[in-house]
A and B are shown apart, each in its own frame.
Chain A
């Protein structure tokens, strides 16, 4: 295959938008909504904040106006995403719905559901979660066992999903459930994608505390949970056909290399205006690597805007990007090793490093592990 990453430049309307977003974030920071310099402190979700973001028209930006969207470009959405990420803004409530649940609903949900739910996502009112992993299946998502059994007017779900981020604050789940056994010819057959109202009777959400001390993961137990027929998304038993095209959206965005970005900014602050040569060289390499990742990621956004499905390119961005953001706090720590003890922001750098280093292991696991991504890339290269 030919790899192609054209040098896409953001058009002028993106820079106007960027100024608006920065002004909005500055106001929110000034009002005390969140502290951009203390990631990991305070809530990463905030219902009122998400509503204000929605009111500005920055959720569902690329979706049709008919569903509450704004018919803006993927490049404009890109600018909003990266500015929010860099500011450590609390977007957790609406981000999954904006990035991937909404696009799936747009493609597969019946019209009346789209008209009901999508405008509420755009207003920042709804939190979506992804119901894929189970106690017995993670990366191997086609091994899912949680069952949906056909009943009059709908389906009954029984089983357990796990590592479900945000389930404790979620309004809806897009879940993958087993509607038929796999066949001999196709082990991916038999799973169906459903929209599940998290307030449905029979759902229990149990918290799982992460090693950072944060609560993000949950176990979600389904006991005879009823889901109506019109909540089936796409083809019954055929979810595997629907899974691939969304991946590029999920995998190539700025959130796939900017998660620990704050430590780099803090390092620059600590080094001051005249760093020694060793520090300058270490910093320069990180800058070159970051610039490269961003140019790749913007290029993929350009391909999405052009209606392409850059699955391999998107996977490459996430593979390189997540490894980079995972290694970043460790590289910053090495560069900062010989900092003067009296460097002004030493304490905040150390605090941020402690948090980033603790978060780092998850970055190459969530949303498709390094190993899975490389399998996808290898397939694209014609190796499997």
Chain B
């Protein structure tokens, strides 16, 4: 449930984004000089380590607050590793490891990747598509083995194969070759690779919902301004029908992402409810991104297809987010198998339990 405090934290985040990461300004910027003041403001406001308790160096905000920060970041298409640092802080906290200052990311970031922990406590393996890895000072790593570990790793210890996602943001392959963590501690039983993927998926779902909110309002505003055939294009029924569909996709994303975030916030473990809610959020938000991006570009026509226009900052990001922490097809197959195993007669009771 939304509480008053959600609004305060989200409003702080929104104010910082509006002042220091306005999408229009960032889009026009010739260089990255906006980056440093933005990151400093986020760190000073405690937003980057919102999910880390004060005792471990963070701001000690609630899970709900953190998810609201993430949705707000989506609304501004914030191009720094804020969501990734939040996720990394959360993971470290699960093992009681103090969070360092600065940008972080998490590994693995794909459900088919595994980082292993050897008998000597060193880490081995390769994590693909790690978001913002090349900008991160540290990685929070979930490593599997006889005793699964959560580890804090200095980024310089790993080999990076640089890559980019659809939006041009870093998405790098990170190789761990006998990497000795700065700190590590046993992962609690409830936090395994799947749990990390579920958490990452809900973060991406919230970002997508936020991005869709902005895409919808930009599209409606443009349809009311742009004149063709002597009237604003928003007066044409064909355009209205498309925008109503976009509103529907936005609503679906908002509803399912908020529901999953609320479920994680209230849950004691990554149980069946969290799995249903989070996998559904990733699947449905990815579908909404696909539909929503197509509709928005259709409304904007050629101008929305230019580098100069901000639309791509939102559409390309939400399309890229589909691929992080398990894409919608992967999660759908997982969810489908799970439902099949439970059997037909248990299906409705599960749906109705949420």
A316 touches B220 (CB 8 A): no
Q: Do residues A374 and B240 form an inter-chain contact, with CB atoms below 8 A? A: yes
From B255, B332, B333, residue with most partner A Cβ within 10 Å: B255
Please, which residue of chain B has its CB at the minimum distance from the CB of A300? B255
Q: Which of B248, B328, B351 contacts A291 (CB 8 A)?
A: B351
Bitwise, B245-261 to A at CB < 8 A (1) or not (0) is 10110111011101101
Chain-A contact segment, one of B52-60, B86-94, B276-284: B276-284
Taking each of A266, A282, A287, A296, which has the highest tally of chain B beta carbons within 10 Å of its own beta carbon? A287
User: Which segment, of A98-106, A220-228, A238-246, A267-275, faces chain B?
Assistant: A267-275
Chain B residue, CB-CB nearest to A315: B244
The segment from A1-9, A168-176, A353-361 that touches chain B is A1-9
The 8 Å CB contact of B352, one of A18, A271, A289, is A18
Which among B237, B241, B337, B343 has the highest number of chain A CB atoms within 10 Å? B337
- Please report the C-alpha to C-alpha distance between residue A16 and residue B211 in the assembled complex, in whole angstroms: 39
Q: Are A374 and B245 in contact (CB under 8 A)?
A: yes
Q: Is A116 an interface residue (CB 8 A)?
A: no
Residue of B244, B331, B344 near A284 (CB, 8 A) is: B331
- Assembly CA distance A26 to B64 (angstroms): 39
* Cβ A272 vs Cβ B241 within 8 A: no
* A55 in the interface (beta carbon within 8 A): no
A273 contacts across to B, CB distance below 8 A? 340-341, 343
Q: Verify A295–B240 contact, CB threshold 8 A.
A: no
A284 to B220, Cβ gap below 8 A? no
| Closest B residue by C-beta to A297 | B255
**A82 contacts chain B at the CB level, 8 A cutoff:** yes
Q: Tell me the residues in window 277-301 of chain B with beta carbons closer than 8 Å to chain A beta carbons.
A: 277, 279-281, 283-284, 287
Any A CB within 8 A of the CB of B183: no
Taking the complex as formed, is A279 at the interface, i.e. its CB lies under 8 A from any CB of chain B? yes
In the complex, are the beta carbons of B224 and A294 less than 8 A apart?
A: no
Minimum Cβ distance to chain A for residue B74 (Å): 14
Residues of A within 8 A of B348 (CB): 86, 261, 265
CA A18 to CA B341, docked complex, whole Å = 24
Per-position contact with B for A302-338: 1 when CB-CB < 8 Å, else 0?
A: 0000000000110010011000000000000000000
Q: Is the CB of B340 within 8 A of A3?
A: no
Nearest chain-A residue to B255 (Cβ)?
A5
Is B68 an interface residue, CB under 8 A from the partner? no
- Report if B303 contacts A (CB, 8 A): no
Inside 8 A of B40's CB, which chain A residues have their CB? none
Name B233's closest neighbour in chain A (CB-CB).
A383
Asked whether, in the complex, the Cβ of A3 is within 8 Å of the Cβ of B247, the reply is yes
Cβ-Cβ contact count across A and B, 8 Å cutoff: 179
Check A265–B354 contact: CB distance below 8 A: no
Residues of A within 8 A of B344 (CB): 265-266, 268-269
Q: Which residue of A lies closest to B279 (CB)?
A: A288
Residue of B nearest to A275 (CB): B340
Per a CB cutoff under 8 Å, which of A288, A373, A380 touches B283?
Answer: A288
Which residues of A lie under 8 Å from residue B261 when comparing CB positions? Answer: 7
Would you call B1 an interface residue if the criterion is a C-beta within 8 Å of the partner chain's C-beta atoms?
yes
For residue B288, which residue of chain A has the nearest CB?
A292
Is the beta-carbon distance between B258 and A7 smaller than 8 angstroms? yes
**Are B251 and A284 interface neighbours, CB within 8 A?**
no
| 1/0 contact string of B266-282 vs chain A (CB within 8 Å) | 00000000001101110
Chain B window 212-242, contacts with chain A (Cβ cutoff 8 Å), 1 for yes, 0 for no: 0100100010011000000000110101110
Q: Is B18 an interface residue (CB 8 A)?
A: no
Is there a chain B Cβ closer than 8 Å to A248's Cβ?
no
Q: Is B339 an interface residue (CB 8 A)?
A: yes
Residue of B nearest to A265 (CB): B344
How far, in angstroms, from A292 to B276 measured CA to CA in the complex?
Answer: 11
Contacts of B135 in A (CB 8 A): none
* Contact across chains for A292 and B255 when beta carbons are under 8 A apart: yes
Q: Which residues of A contact B220 (CB under 8 A)?
A: 381-383
B347 A265 Cβ-Cβ under 8 A: yes
**A286 nearest CB across to chain B (Å):** 8
Q: Judge whether A384 and B351 touch: CB under 8 Å.
A: no
User: Closest Cβ of chain B: how far from A182's Cβ, in Å?
Assistant: 22
The residue in chain B whose Cβ has the minimal distance to the Cβ of A295 is B259
Contacting residue for A285 out of B213, B255, B332, B340, CB 8 A? B332
Q: Smallest CB-CB separation from A335: which chain B residue?
A: B336
Q: B248 and A320: CB pair below 8 A?
A: yes
A374 to B348 Cα, complex, angstroms: 30
**A377, B247: Cα distance in complex, Å:** 8
Most buried by B among A3, A272, A312: A3
Beta-carbon contact of A320 and B240 below 8 Å: no
Beta-carbon nearest neighbor of B265 in chain A: A7
Residues of B within 8 A of A23 (CB): none
Which single residue of chain B is at the shortest CB-CB distance from A376?
B244
Q: List 17 A-B contacts (CB under 8 A).
A: A5-B258, A7-B263, A264-B347, A265-B347, A277-B333, A281-B333, A284-B279, A284-B283, A288-B280, A291-B276, A291-B351, A292-B255, A292-B280, A316-B247, A382-B220, A384-B234, A384-B240
Binding site for A on B (CB under 8 A): 1-2, 213, 216, 220, 223-224, 234-235, 237, 239-241, 243-245, 247-248, 250-252, 254-256, 258-259, 261-263, 276-277, 279-281, 283-284, 287, 328-329, 331-337, 339-341, 343-344, 347-348, 351-352, 354
- A-B contact sample (17 more), CB < 8 A, given A282-B332, A375-B237, A381-B220: A3-B216, A7-B262, A264-B347, A268-B339, A268-B340, A283-B335, A284-B332, A284-B339, A285-B287, A291-B280, A294-B352, A294-B354, A296-B251, A316-B248, A371-B237, A383-B223, A384-B235
